[in-house]
Structure 1
Amino acid sequence: MRSVKVFLIDDHKLFVEGLTSILKDKSGLKVMGFAFSAAEYLDIADTVQADVFLVDVNMPQMSGIELTRLIKEKNPQAKILALSMYEDSHYIEKMIQSGASGYMLKSANIKEMVEAIKKVAKGERYLGDEVQKAVFEKMGSMDFFEAQNETNTYTLSKREKEILALVVREYTTQQIAEKLFISELTVETHRKNIWAKTKTKSIVGLVKFAIREGLVDY
Protein backbone atom coordinates (compact mmCIF):
# COMPACT_ATOMS: atom_id res chain seq x y z
CA MET A 1 0.00 0.00 0.00
CA ARG A 2 1.29 3.46 -0.92
CA SER A 3 2.36 5.66 1.98
CA VAL A 4 0.26 8.74 2.78
CA LYS A 5 2.21 11.86 1.81
CA VAL A 6 2.05 14.50 4.53
CA PHE A 7 3.00 18.20 4.50
CA LEU A 8 3.03 20.40 7.63
CA ILE A 9 2.28 24.14 7.78
CA ASP A 10 2.74 25.65 11.24
CA ASP A 11 4.57 28.67 12.65
CA HIS A 12 5.69 26.84 15.80
CA LYS A 13 9.09 25.53 14.69
CA LEU A 14 9.76 23.23 17.64
CA PHE A 15 6.35 21.61 17.23
CA VAL A 16 6.87 21.10 13.49
CA GLU A 17 10.37 19.69 13.87
CA GLY A 18 9.27 17.38 16.68
CA LEU A 19 6.17 16.13 14.89
CA THR A 20 8.10 15.66 11.65
CA SER A 21 10.70 13.55 13.43
CA ILE A 22 8.00 11.34 14.98
CA LEU A 23 5.88 10.92 11.85
CA LYS A 24 8.89 9.92 9.76
CA ASP A 25 9.15 6.75 11.83
CA LYS A 26 5.50 5.80 11.44
CA SER A 27 4.56 3.07 8.98
CA GLY A 28 2.32 4.17 6.14
CA LEU A 29 3.26 7.86 6.36
CA LYS A 30 5.79 9.89 4.41
CA VAL A 31 6.58 13.48 5.41
CA MET A 32 7.14 15.50 2.23
CA GLY A 33 8.23 18.68 3.97
CA PHE A 34 7.03 21.63 6.01
CA ALA A 35 6.60 25.41 5.99
CA PHE A 36 6.65 27.80 8.94
CA SER A 37 4.03 30.18 7.53
CA ALA A 38 1.30 30.40 4.93
CA ALA A 39 3.47 32.70 2.82
CA GLU A 40 6.38 30.24 2.91
CA TYR A 41 4.08 27.44 1.75
CA LEU A 42 2.51 29.52 -1.03
CA ASP A 43 5.97 30.29 -2.40
CA ILE A 44 6.57 26.58 -2.99
CA ALA A 45 2.97 25.37 -3.42
CA ASP A 46 3.42 24.37 -7.06
CA THR A 47 6.22 21.96 -6.11
CA VAL A 48 4.50 20.33 -3.13
CA GLN A 49 2.99 16.88 -3.61
CA ALA A 50 0.98 15.73 -0.62
CA ASP A 51 -2.15 13.77 0.21
CA VAL A 52 -2.78 15.42 3.57
CA PHE A 53 -1.85 18.90 4.76
CA LEU A 54 -1.55 19.47 8.51
CA VAL A 55 -2.45 23.14 8.92
CA ASP A 56 -2.15 25.26 12.05
CA VAL A 57 -5.31 27.31 12.59
CA ASN A 58 -3.78 30.34 14.32
CA MET A 59 -0.88 31.62 12.23
CA PRO A 60 0.17 35.28 11.88
CA GLN A 61 -0.36 37.29 8.68
CA MET A 62 -2.53 34.60 7.08
CA SER A 63 -4.55 32.23 9.24
CA GLY A 64 -4.97 28.53 8.65
CA ILE A 65 -8.59 29.25 7.81
CA GLU A 66 -7.69 31.46 4.85
CA LEU A 67 -4.84 29.18 3.79
CA THR A 68 -7.13 26.15 3.79
CA ARG A 69 -9.51 28.00 1.50
CA LEU A 70 -6.66 28.79 -0.91
CA ILE A 71 -5.32 25.22 -0.90
CA LYS A 72 -8.78 23.80 -1.64
CA GLU A 73 -9.38 26.38 -4.37
CA LYS A 74 -6.15 25.40 -6.11
CA ASN A 75 -6.58 21.68 -5.48
CA PRO A 76 -10.13 20.59 -4.55
CA GLN A 77 -8.87 17.03 -3.95
CA ALA A 78 -6.43 18.10 -1.21
CA LYS A 79 -7.19 16.83 2.29
CA ILE A 80 -6.68 19.24 5.20
CA LEU A 81 -6.34 18.25 8.85
CA ALA A 82 -6.51 21.31 11.10
CA LEU A 83 -4.25 21.49 14.14
CA SER A 84 -4.85 23.86 17.04
CA MET A 85 -4.25 24.44 20.73
CA TYR A 86 -7.88 25.49 21.11
CA GLU A 87 -11.14 23.54 20.94
CA ASP A 88 -13.07 26.78 20.29
CA SER A 89 -16.18 25.94 18.25
CA HIS A 90 -15.74 29.15 16.23
CA TYR A 91 -12.37 28.00 14.87
CA ILE A 92 -13.69 24.50 14.28
CA GLU A 93 -16.64 25.77 12.24
CA LYS A 94 -14.51 28.16 10.18
CA MET A 95 -11.93 25.50 9.33
CA ILE A 96 -14.56 22.97 8.26
CA GLN A 97 -16.39 25.62 6.23
CA SER A 98 -13.09 26.46 4.52
CA GLY A 99 -12.70 22.85 3.44
CA ALA A 100 -10.84 21.02 6.21
CA SER A 101 -11.66 17.32 6.55
CA GLY A 102 -10.76 17.18 10.22
CA TYR A 103 -9.75 19.12 13.31
CA MET A 104 -7.71 18.02 16.29
CA LEU A 105 -5.74 19.47 19.17
CA LYS A 106 -1.95 19.62 19.15
CA SER A 107 -2.05 18.00 22.58
CA ALA A 108 -3.42 14.76 21.08
CA ASN A 109 -1.22 11.70 21.42
CA ILE A 110 0.71 10.51 18.40
CA LYS A 111 -1.46 7.40 17.97
CA GLU A 112 -4.54 9.58 17.52
CA MET A 113 -2.62 11.90 15.18
CA VAL A 114 -1.60 9.02 12.91
CA GLU A 115 -5.14 7.62 12.95
CA ALA A 116 -6.54 11.04 11.99
CA ILE A 117 -4.10 11.48 9.11
CA LYS A 118 -4.87 8.05 7.66
CA LYS A 119 -8.63 8.51 7.96
CA VAL A 120 -8.56 11.93 6.32
CA ALA A 121 -6.36 10.56 3.53
CA LYS A 122 -9.06 7.96 2.77
CA GLY A 123 -11.68 10.68 2.45
CA GLU A 124 -13.16 10.25 5.91
CA ARG A 125 -13.91 13.02 8.41
CA TYR A 126 -12.18 13.31 11.76
CA LEU A 127 -12.71 15.30 14.93
CA GLY A 128 -10.45 14.74 17.94
CA ASP A 129 -12.05 13.63 21.20
CA GLU A 130 -11.86 17.05 22.89
CA VAL A 131 -13.04 18.73 19.70
CA GLN A 132 -16.09 16.46 19.59
CA LYS A 133 -17.02 17.58 23.10
CA ALA A 134 -16.85 21.24 22.08
CA VAL A 135 -19.02 20.57 19.03
CA PHE A 136 -21.55 18.58 21.02
CA GLU A 137 -21.85 21.32 23.65
CA LYS A 138 -22.70 23.89 20.99
CA MET A 139 -24.86 21.86 18.63
CA GLY A 140 -26.30 19.19 20.86
CA SER A 141 -25.51 16.61 18.19
CA MET A 142 -22.61 15.07 16.33
CA ASP A 143 -23.96 15.84 12.82
CA PHE A 144 -21.43 18.66 12.59
CA PHE A 145 -20.02 18.01 9.13
CA GLU A 146 -23.51 17.54 7.70
CA ALA A 147 -24.57 20.88 9.15
CA GLN A 148 -21.52 22.63 7.70
CA ASN A 149 -22.10 21.02 4.31
CA GLU A 150 -25.66 22.32 4.30
CA THR A 151 -24.36 25.77 5.16
CA ASN A 152 -21.90 25.62 2.29
CA THR A 153 -24.14 24.13 -0.38
CA TYR A 154 -24.01 27.28 -2.47
CA THR A 155 -20.60 28.60 -1.44
CA LEU A 156 -18.45 28.67 -4.55
CA SER A 157 -14.78 29.60 -4.56
CA LYS A 158 -13.58 32.57 -6.62
CA ARG A 159 -12.24 30.23 -9.31
CA GLU A 160 -15.50 28.24 -9.41
CA LYS A 161 -17.45 31.47 -9.91
CA GLU A 162 -15.14 32.43 -12.79
CA ILE A 163 -15.62 29.05 -14.43
CA LEU A 164 -19.38 29.06 -13.88
CA ALA A 165 -19.65 32.48 -15.55
CA LEU A 166 -17.83 31.08 -18.59
CA VAL A 167 -19.79 27.81 -18.66
CA VAL A 168 -23.12 29.62 -18.87
CA ARG A 169 -21.67 31.69 -21.72
CA GLU A 170 -21.14 28.37 -23.54
CA TYR A 171 -17.34 28.28 -23.31
CA THR A 172 -15.91 24.78 -23.83
CA THR A 173 -13.58 23.14 -21.32
CA GLN A 174 -10.64 23.82 -23.62
CA GLN A 175 -11.58 27.49 -24.05
CA ILE A 176 -11.96 27.95 -20.29
CA ALA A 177 -8.58 26.33 -19.66
CA GLU A 178 -6.91 28.62 -22.20
CA LYS A 179 -8.60 31.75 -20.89
CA LEU A 180 -7.77 31.07 -17.22
CA PHE A 181 -4.34 29.52 -17.89
CA ILE A 182 -5.17 26.25 -16.13
CA SER A 183 -5.33 22.63 -17.28
CA GLU A 184 -8.46 21.05 -18.76
CA LEU A 185 -8.38 18.50 -15.93
CA THR A 186 -8.54 21.33 -13.38
CA VAL A 187 -11.48 22.83 -15.24
CA GLU A 188 -13.32 19.50 -15.20
CA THR A 189 -12.68 19.11 -11.47
CA HIS A 190 -14.09 22.56 -10.78
CA ARG A 191 -17.11 21.86 -12.99
CA LYS A 192 -17.91 18.72 -10.99
CA ASN A 193 -17.68 20.72 -7.76
CA ILE A 194 -19.97 23.40 -9.20
CA TRP A 195 -22.62 20.82 -10.15
CA ALA A 196 -22.42 19.28 -6.68
CA LYS A 197 -22.54 22.57 -4.76
CA THR A 198 -25.36 24.15 -6.76
CA LYS A 199 -27.34 20.89 -6.88
CA THR A 200 -28.35 21.69 -10.45
CA LYS A 201 -28.88 19.05 -13.13
CA SER A 202 -28.79 21.09 -16.33
CA ILE A 203 -27.21 24.11 -17.98
CA VAL A 204 -30.54 25.90 -17.54
CA GLY A 205 -30.28 25.34 -13.81
CA LEU A 206 -26.73 26.69 -13.80
CA VAL A 207 -27.81 29.78 -15.73
CA LYS A 208 -30.61 30.46 -13.24
CA PHE A 209 -28.16 30.06 -10.37
CA ALA A 210 -25.58 32.35 -12.01
CA ILE A 211 -28.19 35.06 -12.61
CA ARG A 212 -29.52 34.79 -9.07
CA GLU A 213 -26.00 35.13 -7.67
CA GLY A 214 -25.18 38.06 -9.93
CA LEU A 215 -22.40 36.21 -11.77
CA VAL A 216 -23.81 37.02 -15.21
CA ASP A 217 -26.21 39.58 -16.64
CA TYR A 218 -29.09 38.60 -18.88
Structure 2
Amino acid sequence: MPTAREKREAREQALRDEGAREALAKLNHQNFTDPGSIAAAAGPVARPQHAGAKVIVACKLGIAYFDIQLCQMDEKFQQNMQGGRMVKEATRTGSIVRLRGTAYPRGTLPEGFPERPVTIHNAALNYGVDRHFMEVWMEQNRLNPIVMNDMIMVDDNEDRLKARLKEVADKLSGLEPVNPKADHRMPKPINAAVSELESRPRTVTATDA
Protein backbone atom coordinates (compact mmCIF):
# COMPACT_ATOMS: atom_id res chain seq x y z
CA MET A 1 0.00 0.00 0.00
CA PRO A 2 1.41 3.42 -0.95
CA THR A 3 1.90 5.87 1.88
CA ALA A 4 0.12 9.24 2.10
CA ARG A 5 3.31 10.97 0.99
CA GLU A 6 3.68 8.70 -2.04
CA LYS A 7 0.05 9.33 -2.99
CA ARG A 8 0.57 13.10 -2.69
CA GLU A 9 3.75 12.97 -4.79
CA ALA A 10 1.95 10.86 -7.41
CA ARG A 11 -0.89 13.41 -7.61
CA GLU A 12 1.59 16.29 -7.93
CA GLN A 13 3.48 14.46 -10.68
CA ALA A 14 0.20 13.74 -12.52
CA LEU A 15 -0.67 17.45 -12.37
CA ARG A 16 2.76 18.38 -13.75
CA ASP A 17 2.41 15.85 -16.57
CA GLU A 18 -1.08 17.13 -17.40
CA GLY A 19 0.21 20.71 -17.47
CA ALA A 20 2.99 19.69 -19.84
CA ARG A 21 0.52 17.91 -22.15
CA GLU A 22 -1.80 20.94 -22.20
CA ALA A 23 1.09 23.29 -22.95
CA LEU A 24 2.28 21.12 -25.83
CA ALA A 25 -1.25 20.79 -27.18
CA LYS A 26 -1.59 24.59 -27.08
CA LEU A 27 1.75 24.99 -28.85
CA ASN A 28 0.74 22.53 -31.57
CA HIS A 29 -2.63 24.23 -32.06
CA GLN A 30 -1.04 27.69 -32.35
CA ASN A 31 1.63 26.38 -34.67
CA PHE A 32 -1.02 24.95 -37.00
CA THR A 33 -3.59 27.79 -36.91
CA ASP A 34 -1.20 30.74 -36.65
CA PRO A 35 2.39 29.80 -37.58
CA GLY A 36 3.54 33.41 -37.17
CA SER A 37 2.77 33.36 -33.44
CA ILE A 38 5.29 30.59 -32.72
CA ALA A 39 9.04 30.96 -33.06
CA ALA A 40 10.21 29.03 -36.11
CA ALA A 41 12.61 26.14 -35.78
CA ALA A 42 16.06 27.66 -35.41
CA GLY A 43 19.51 26.25 -34.93
CA PRO A 44 21.88 23.84 -36.65
CA VAL A 45 20.46 21.19 -38.96
CA ALA A 46 21.41 17.74 -37.67
CA ARG A 47 23.99 16.03 -39.88
CA PRO A 48 23.43 12.41 -40.96
CA GLN A 49 24.85 9.95 -38.44
CA HIS A 50 25.44 6.23 -38.80
CA ALA A 51 25.49 5.44 -35.07
CA GLY A 52 22.33 4.48 -33.21
CA ALA A 53 19.00 3.03 -34.31
CA LYS A 54 17.39 4.63 -37.37
CA VAL A 55 13.89 4.89 -38.81
CA ILE A 56 12.30 5.93 -42.09
CA VAL A 57 10.07 9.00 -41.98
CA ALA A 58 7.39 9.48 -44.64
CA CYS A 59 6.31 13.08 -45.27
CA LYS A 60 3.15 13.71 -47.31
CA LEU A 61 3.39 17.51 -47.13
CA GLY A 62 3.48 19.14 -50.56
CA ILE A 63 6.47 21.33 -49.70
CA ALA A 64 10.21 21.12 -50.41
CA TYR A 65 11.16 20.37 -46.82
CA PHE A 66 9.80 20.51 -43.28
CA ASP A 67 12.04 21.39 -40.31
CA ILE A 68 11.14 19.74 -37.01
CA GLN A 69 12.61 20.27 -33.56
CA LEU A 70 12.02 18.95 -30.06
CA CYS A 71 10.52 21.06 -27.26
CA GLN A 72 11.35 21.37 -23.59
CA MET A 73 9.07 22.62 -20.82
CA ASP A 74 10.33 25.81 -19.12
CA GLU A 75 8.80 27.63 -16.17
CA LYS A 76 8.11 31.31 -16.88
CA PHE A 77 6.41 34.11 -14.98
CA GLN A 78 3.08 35.16 -16.51
CA GLN A 79 1.72 38.58 -15.53
CA ASN A 80 -2.02 38.83 -14.87
CA MET A 81 -4.61 40.97 -13.06
CA GLN A 82 -3.85 39.23 -9.75
CA GLY A 83 -0.13 39.91 -10.01
CA GLY A 84 1.17 36.86 -11.84
CA ARG A 85 1.94 33.19 -11.65
CA MET A 86 4.51 30.66 -12.80
CA VAL A 87 3.45 28.69 -15.87
CA LYS A 88 5.06 26.03 -18.03
CA GLU A 89 5.81 26.92 -21.65
CA ALA A 90 7.18 24.76 -24.43
CA THR A 91 10.39 26.05 -26.02
CA ARG A 92 12.09 24.63 -29.10
CA THR A 93 15.49 23.17 -28.37
CA GLY A 94 18.26 21.08 -29.91
CA SER A 95 19.20 20.42 -33.50
CA ILE A 96 16.78 20.58 -36.41
CA VAL A 97 15.86 17.49 -38.39
CA ARG A 98 14.99 18.45 -41.97
CA LEU A 99 12.42 16.21 -43.64
CA ARG A 100 12.03 16.27 -47.41
CA GLY A 101 8.50 16.86 -48.69
CA THR A 102 6.99 15.85 -52.01
CA ALA A 103 7.54 19.20 -53.80
CA TYR A 104 10.50 19.48 -56.16
CA PRO A 105 11.51 22.42 -58.38
CA ARG A 106 11.18 22.24 -62.14
CA GLY A 107 13.74 23.24 -64.71
CA THR A 108 17.44 23.74 -64.06
CA LEU A 109 18.32 23.08 -60.41
CA PRO A 110 20.73 25.28 -58.45
CA GLU A 111 24.22 23.84 -57.96
CA GLY A 112 24.34 21.56 -54.94
CA PHE A 113 20.56 21.11 -54.74
CA PRO A 114 19.74 17.64 -53.32
CA GLU A 115 18.42 14.88 -55.55
CA ARG A 116 14.70 14.24 -55.88
CA PRO A 117 13.50 12.26 -52.84
CA VAL A 118 12.15 8.74 -53.14
CA THR A 119 8.38 9.19 -53.40
CA ILE A 120 5.73 6.50 -53.05
CA HIS A 121 1.96 6.76 -52.51
CA ASN A 122 2.16 10.58 -52.40
CA ALA A 123 4.82 10.59 -49.69
CA ALA A 124 8.54 11.41 -49.67
CA LEU A 125 10.70 8.90 -47.79
CA ASN A 126 13.44 10.17 -45.47
CA TYR A 127 15.97 7.48 -44.56
CA GLY A 128 18.35 7.27 -41.60
CA VAL A 129 16.51 9.52 -39.13
CA ASP A 130 17.39 9.00 -35.47
CA ARG A 131 14.83 6.68 -33.85
CA HIS A 132 14.94 8.30 -30.38
CA PHE A 133 14.45 11.79 -31.82
CA MET A 134 11.40 10.72 -33.83
CA GLU A 135 9.86 8.79 -30.95
CA VAL A 136 10.08 11.87 -28.72
CA TRP A 137 8.89 14.21 -31.50
CA MET A 138 5.91 12.01 -32.38
CA GLU A 139 4.90 11.84 -28.70
CA GLN A 140 5.20 15.61 -28.26
CA ASN A 141 3.23 16.22 -31.46
CA ARG A 142 0.62 13.47 -31.13
CA LEU A 143 -2.15 16.13 -31.09
CA ASN A 144 -0.70 17.99 -34.07
CA PRO A 145 -3.04 17.71 -37.11
CA ILE A 146 0.00 16.82 -39.23
CA VAL A 147 0.50 13.67 -37.14
CA MET A 148 -3.18 12.93 -36.52
CA ASN A 149 -3.93 13.10 -40.27
CA ASP A 150 -1.00 10.81 -41.25
CA MET A 151 1.01 13.52 -42.99
CA ILE A 152 4.06 12.30 -41.03
CA MET A 153 4.51 8.55 -40.55
CA VAL A 154 7.43 6.68 -39.00
CA ASP A 155 8.57 3.05 -39.20
CA ASP A 156 11.81 1.09 -39.06
CA ASN A 157 10.64 -1.35 -41.75
CA GLU A 158 10.36 0.01 -45.29
CA ASP A 159 7.91 -2.62 -46.56
CA ARG A 160 5.61 -2.08 -43.60
CA LEU A 161 5.78 1.68 -44.03
CA LYS A 162 4.90 1.40 -47.73
CA ALA A 163 1.90 -0.78 -46.86
CA ARG A 164 0.73 1.84 -44.34
CA LEU A 165 1.20 4.61 -46.91
CA LYS A 166 -0.85 2.70 -49.47
CA GLU A 167 -3.80 2.74 -47.06
CA VAL A 168 -3.69 6.56 -46.77
CA ALA A 169 -2.57 7.32 -50.34
CA ASP A 170 -5.74 9.35 -50.99
CA LYS A 171 -5.12 11.63 -47.99
CA LEU A 172 -3.65 14.93 -49.16
CA SER A 173 -2.19 17.82 -47.18
CA GLY A 174 -3.79 20.54 -49.31
CA LEU A 175 -0.35 21.96 -50.19
CA GLU A 176 -0.07 20.06 -53.48
CA PRO A 177 -0.04 21.98 -56.80
CA VAL A 178 -3.53 22.90 -58.02
CA ASN A 179 -4.90 20.82 -60.90
CA PRO A 180 -7.04 23.20 -63.03
CA LYS A 181 -9.06 20.34 -64.55
CA ALA A 182 -10.12 18.48 -61.42
CA ASP A 183 -9.39 20.11 -58.08
CA HIS A 184 -11.88 20.97 -55.36
CA ARG A 185 -9.75 24.03 -54.51
CA MET A 186 -10.52 25.66 -57.87
CA PRO A 187 -13.01 28.55 -57.55
CA LYS A 188 -16.57 27.69 -58.50
CA PRO A 189 -18.83 29.92 -60.67
CA ILE A 190 -20.74 32.45 -58.57
CA ASN A 191 -24.03 31.47 -60.16
CA ALA A 192 -24.00 28.19 -62.08
CA ALA A 193 -27.59 28.65 -63.26
CA VAL A 194 -26.82 32.01 -64.89
CA SER A 195 -23.68 30.73 -66.59
CA GLU A 196 -25.66 27.77 -67.92
CA LEU A 197 -28.39 30.03 -69.33
CA GLU A 198 -25.85 32.32 -71.02
CA SER A 199 -24.26 29.36 -72.78
CA ARG A 200 -27.55 28.23 -74.33
CA PRO A 201 -28.66 29.62 -77.75
CA ARG A 202 -31.61 32.01 -77.38
CA THR A 203 -34.82 30.88 -79.06
CA VAL A 204 -37.04 33.60 -80.52
CA THR A 205 -40.75 33.06 -79.91
CA ALA A 206 -43.87 34.75 -81.24
CA THR A 207 -44.15 36.92 -78.15
CA ASP A 208 -40.63 38.31 -78.74
CA ALA A 209 -41.52 39.57 -82.23
- TM-score, normalised with respect to structure 1: 0.22
Q: Point out the structure with the larger strand share.
A: 2
